Structure 1
């Protein structure tokens, strides 16, 4: 029998987590396992979850509290490692503060079981803003005439849809976990969706599967790379190191399926870019000019030139 698991990373979610737990518990396709990992919450999140599990007598549900704070990116990495110890065929990611429609997992599972070429399936969402400070993400528009759309091949640090809409087959989850080293502080949704776009096994369900709730302080996979002229150079270099980790991890996974020349070239560029960022103003500026065409945007060029002037 096919088995499914839901993975949720938690942190200080006592106020809103119960509503999302309800939407998971009431799924028309009941998950066999729901694994939660708490990243050292300072509120009552762990107690709220444990009480919820006890109240509803939920077998296969479990929350573990980290010994130390990992950050949400590495917390999701650890959840991937956790779930592979179980006999599961499909993995669904969940955030703690969004709401799933009750047939979400059933719809995604039906498509993936019917189409073996799909190993990663994200989906559309409805968006609800909870404050005037809340940002509204902009997603790639897929064809409204098709129920599912294949990801276009991309090589940037980006996502097509929120990570909590991702459903993934075990073999692909295994490939990601096996090649994602602990020090690589990258976002699971960026890694999974971009890798799947290159391999060709990633698709989007062009139907809403839940409500994406936006607060003033939602975590974003790309927020750590939003810099300005006041940001320290160390932050710039850390961001470039993350890009290298991202492309190295992708390359290892993609190589299990195929050799991608463009990905290899992008990784080589990002490695050289990182090393150039540590050099003098003259050497760093020379690198940018020499490799001008290899940048994917003017913002990347301007960023490197700006921080070349900093010590």
Structure 2
């Protein structure tokens, strides 16, 4: 059976780069079944650019663009769009990236070949290639060719690929919403985000996989939403997240979530017990350093 897909994109003051991203999605080798874009009350020409693009490319039947009635913030904007999807697979899209033509087709192929896969992250190239703004971390995984199952361990509790590289099955929407509501902050002490919640949901259900090939170009620039967050919270970004003051709070919130979450303990008791053990050991180590 052919899988259906939805791309969800949160837009805000994206007039500088959004056209290129719209064009890369429209020109996918395998077209998405639906595209949902929500402009979070931009003050530039984002609305005009998106509306014109949809009209000029005759995409009105499958592309759904609306401007929010009030500012939601990018986290809730993404989560609200996820709630509006009804396809087999959902893709997160940032407004300032560029997708390779095979991003959707390769991702859908991965899902079709692995029934256990609920969340898939890919690699990406950077623009500019020599950028020093964004990291690309290592992932602990059990590899099988180009695709690896991400191991539920301490290292992987912190998101290791950005949300722009993520696709996920509709079966994990409920669990990721549970994480979003139940683990309210990330390892930096910031509010929980759509992509960290999706990563954690897949990790804790042992259904998170990584395809070891770049399927997009991730644009690195200081005006992005994430870089603005970093600039506004400089004190939280000193060294690695594991070295920050909010890391132990993050671990304890996951520990508490695992103890009280019915769906996760039911899905994979072995994964839950392993995570509980390593988290408890790390909390003890941080609280009682040698």
| Alignment TM class, shorter chain as reference | 0.7 to 0.9
In structure 2, what is the equivalent of residue 111 of structure 1? 110
Deviation of residue 263 (structure 1)? Answer: 5.1
Are 2:285 and 1:293 aligned? yes
In structure 1, what is the equivalent of residue 3 of structure 2? 2
Normalization by structure 2: what TM-score?
0.77
Which digits, 9 at most, give the CA deviation of each residue in 1:195-225, with x for residues without a partner? 3223211111101101111001333398476
Q: Is the 8 A contact 1:93 1:164 kept in 2?
A: yes
Matches of 2:246 and 2:286, distance apart in 1 = 20
Extract unaligned runs of 5+ from structure 1.
230-235, 270-290, 299-311
Q: Is the 8 A contact 1:33 1:61 kept in 2?
A: yes
> Is the deviation greater in 152-161 or in 107-116?
152-161
Residues 176, 101 of structure 1: CA spacing in aligned structure 2 closer, same or farther, 3 A cutoff? same
Deviation of residue 55 (structure 1)? Answer: 1.0
Residues 61, 42 of structure 1: CA spacing in aligned structure 2 closer, same or farther, 3 A cutoff? same
Are 2:209 and 1:199 aligned? no
Matches of 1:143 and 1:246, distance apart in 2 = 23
Matches of 1:64 and 1:247, distance apart in 2 = 38
> Is the deviation greater in 173-182 or in 145-154?
173-182
In structure 2, what is the equivalent of residue 162 of structure 1? 162
Matches of 1:130 and 1:97, distance apart in 2 = 15
Matches of 2:38 and 2:179, distance apart in 1 = 21
- Larger of the two Rg values belongs to structure: 1
Matches of 2:174 and 2:43, distance apart in 1 = 32
In structure 2, what is the equivalent of residue 258 of structure 1? 268
Q: Is the 8 A contact 1:225 1:239 kept in 2?
A: no
Q: Is the 8 A contact 1:150 1:203 kept in 2?
A: yes
Residues 238, 37 of structure 1: CA spacing in aligned structure 2 closer, same or farther, 3 A cutoff? farther
In structure 1, what is the equivalent of residue 224 of structure 2? 218
Matches of 1:189 and 1:121, distance apart in 2 = 12
In structure 1, what is the equivalent of residue 33 of structure 2? 32
Residues 247, 143 of structure 1: CA spacing in aligned structure 2 closer, same or farther, 3 A cutoff? closer
> Is the deviation greater in 61-70 or in 199-208?
61-70
Residues 144, 200 of structure 1: CA spacing in aligned structure 2 closer, same or farther, 3 A cutoff? closer
Equivalences, count: 269
Normalization by structure 1: what TM-score?
0.73
In structure 1, what is the equivalent of residue 188 of structure 2? none
Extract unaligned runs of 5+ from structure 2.
185-190, 238-243
Residues 145, 237 of structure 1: CA spacing in aligned structure 2 closer, same or farther, 3 A cutoff? closer
Deviation of residue 64 (structure 1)? Answer: 2.1
> Is the deviation greater in 12-21 or in 188-197?
188-197
Matches of 1:49 and 1:99, distance apart in 2 = 15
Which digits, 9 at most, give the CA deviation of each residue in 1:154-178, with x for residues without a partner? 3565212121111111101233235
Which digits, 9 at most, give the CA deviation of each residue in 1:40-87, with x for residues without a partner? 21112122111111111102201222222222112111111121xx3x
Which digits, 9 at most, give the CA deviation of each residue in 1:258-281, with x for residues without a partner? 342465679999xxxxxxxxxxxx
Residues 218, 246 of structure 1: CA spacing in aligned structure 2 closer, same or farther, 3 A cutoff? farther
Partner secondary structure for residue 90 of structure 2: strand
1:222-301 to 2 correspondence within 5 Å?
223=230, 226-227=234-235, 252=261, 254-259=264-269, 260-261=272-273, 292-294=284-286
Matches of 1:190 and 1:112, distance apart in 2 = 20
Matches of 1:182 and 1:202, distance apart in 2 = 19
Residues 205, 97 of structure 1: CA spacing in aligned structure 2 closer, same or farther, 3 A cutoff? same
In structure 1, what is the equivalent of residue 23 of structure 2? 22
1:161-180 to 2 correspondence within 5 Å?
161-177=161-177, 180=180
Are 2:120 and 1:121 aligned? yes
